[in-house]
Amino acid sequence: MTDLPIYPLTNEHKMLRDAARDFAEKKITPITTEFDENEKFPHATIKKMGELGFMGIELPEEYGGAGMDALAYVLALEEICKVDAAHGVIMSVNNSLYCHGILKFGTEEQKKKFIAPIASGKAIGAYSLTEPQSGSDAGTMRSRATRDGDFYILNGRKSWVTSGPVADYFVVFMMTDPEKKQKGVSAFLVDGKTPGLVRGKKEPKLGIRASATSELIFENCRIPAENLLGVEGEGFKIAMTVLDAGRIGIATQALGIAEAAYEAARQYAGQREAFGQPIGSFQGTGFKLADMKTRIEASRLLIYNAAIAKENAKGSNGRYSLEASMAKLFASETAMFVTHQAVQIHGGMGYSKELPVERYFRDAKITEIYEGTSEIQRLVISRIELGSK
């Protein structure tokens, strides 16, 4: 990948990108197959990523972060995801879904307590919005948080929580006023050791298998009232604001997966021969590569544009939902297209676990689903463009 002239990178950007690439190739590559096959969570490498500053790239230095911008974040995340999307989604959740909301809506005490350990790699954060019966429709949320003096009592069941089995801290969304539906949702910060918080079934997944995902069950889980994030009834706003940031992360994850699959296909097409010549010399293969490369570079432009929009929105109440949704939609569908073509170019070997392209194919699918399906992204984009709610 060459630097794009319309997005000139600073020396700091390049140093961070190169550091992430070097770490991914040397430390993550050797363990990807084993951890994918055995669904092992990569505790050691995640901790090291925190020590290197990858878990809090945009966070101010006073909270243990690197104090860099949104473009720096996607550059580093892209390099991690090119090697392993499971490491990438753990990094993405820590930086965006978890830390971003606390940084924007949290009190000074909450930032110091709940962000600093995550940014340094000493702890892992998670985000919990989805329930068994409610994903995109948060108004049907059944989990409840009831005020009891200086505490809130949390009850309910959450599902599909990335890093759920291993996280130390959670941003959790629950109903405090069910009659108001979306406007009755509130956000809470929950310590994973709190009595009444039970980690449920670990999900057996198609892809990103080294990333642990589970249910969370709250049974009279009692937390201090000071752990309310923002104010009561502001939870849905916080969730949607955070998802804008998260969608840029998933778009970047998709880009990394697509790049890895493309490079594998390009190299294979130059080496594999049929009828006395490399298969890449046949139009059937060459045109596939041309389409793959074009969609990858278009995805990169949308992601970088969304990162710049996010950066410009800092310090204000500005949103970048349109840019984030377009990047996530296009990049995730590009990842599926590119990985499918990569498997096809490899033929029988693409279906074998001896090569990583089948893992790229499995990992790509989730990018079209979590943090808002492709259908939800199209809904967001169309509503913004039509000026409707």
Residues 6 or more apart whose Cβ sits within 8 Å of residue 257: 81, 82, 85, 335, 338, 339, 360, 363, 364, 367
Residue 60, pLDDT score: 94
Extract the tokens encoding 150: 């200086």
For residues 318-336, give the mean pLDDT.
Answer: 96
Under DSSP, is residue 224 helix (H, G, I), strand (E, B) or coil?
strand
Out of 131, 323, 358, 371, the active site residue is 371
pLDDT band for position 7 (50/70/90)? confident
365-389 per-position pLDDT tens digit: 999 999 999 999 999 999 999 997 6
Q: What pLDDT does residue 2 have?
A: 56
d(C-alpha 26, C-alpha 18), whole Å: 12
Q: Give the model's confidence band at 211: pLDDT under 50 very low, under 70 low, under 90 confident, else very high.
A: very high
| CA atoms 87, 92, 94, 97: torsion sign | negative
Residue 3 confidence (pLDDT): 63
pLDDT in tens, 141-198: 999 999 999 999 999 999 999 999 999 999 999 999 999 989 999 999 999 999 999 9
For the chain, the average pLDDT equals 95
Report residue 236's pLDDT band, with 50, 70 and 90 as the boundaries: very high
**Domains in the chain, start-ordered, CATH in brackets?**
11-119 (1.10.540.10), 125-233 (2.40.110.10), 236-386 (1.20.140.10)
Contact 263, 345 (CB under 8 A): no
Exposed, middle or buried by CB within 10 Å (0-12, 13-18, 19+), for 267?
Answer: exposed
Helix (H) or strand (E) holding 256: helix 235-271
**Spatial distance between the Cα atoms of 204 and 210, rounded to a whole number of angstroms:** 10
Structure confidence at residue 1 (pLDDT) = 54
pLDDT band at 134; cut points 50, 70, 90: confident
273 included as an active-site residue: no
Cβ of 322: how many Cβ atoms within 10 Å? 16
- What would the pLDDT profile of 21-80 be if each residue is shown by its tens digit? 999 999 999 999 999 999 999 999 999 999 999 999 999 999 999 999 999 999 999 999
pLDDT, residue 190, reads: 98
Structure token pair of residue 371: 């943090």
* Position 4 confidence tier, pLDDT thresholds 50, 70, 90: low
The model carries a pTM of 0.96
- Residue range 272-282: mean pLDDT, rounded: 91
